[in-house]
Amino acid sequence: MKFSVKYIFAMVATTMFMVACAPDKGNEPDAPDSPNTPTNPEQPQDPQEPSNPQEPETPGSSDNDLLIPSQEGSAAVNDGYTLVWEDLFDEGYLDESVWNVEVNGNGGGNNELQYYRRENITFEAEPTTNRQCLVLTARKENYSGKNATSGRLNTKGKVAYQYGKIEALIKLPSTYKGLWPAFWMMGNDFDQVGWPACGELDILEMGNAGGLSSPNKAAAYLNGACHWGPSWDKHYCYGPSTTLNTSLQDGEFHLITVTWDEQYIRCYANYGTATQEKYYEIDVTKVDFSDNTVAGNYFKKPFFIIFNLAVGGNFPGIWDINQISALNADNNYEAKMYIDYVKVYQKK
For the question of residue 281 being annotated catalytic, the response is: no
Instruction: Answer yes or no: is pLDDT of 130 > 60.
Output: yes
Reported CATH class of domain 82-257+287-346: mainly beta
H-helix or E-strand containing 35? Answer: none
| pTM of the predicted model as reported, rounded to 2 decimal places | 0.84
List helix spans (H) across 41-198.
190-193
CB 108 within 8 A of CB 306: no
Active site annotation includes 200: yes
Contact 306, 100 (CB under 8 A): no
Active-site residue among 205, 262, 277, 281?
205
- Which is catalytic among the residues 28, 102, 167, 200? 200
Mean pLDDT is lowest, of 72-76, 246-250, 337-341, for 72-76
Domain parsing of the chain, residue ranges: 82-257+287-346
CA angle 311, 106, 241 (to 5 degrees): 45
pLDDT at 38: 30
Instruction: Evaluate if residue 42 carries a pLDDT over 50.
Output: no
Distance between CA 96 and CA 2 in Å, rounded? 11
Q: What is the pLDDT of residues 92-123, one digit of tens each?
A: 999 999 999 999 999 988 999 999 999 999 99
Mean pLDDT is lowest, of 21-35, 200-214, 215-229, 271-285, for 21-35
- CA 219, CA 217: separation in Å to the nearest integer? 5
Residue 159: HSE in the Cβ half-sphere, 13 Å Cα cutoff: 21
Span 296-317, pLDDT tens digits: 999 999 999 999 999 999 999 9
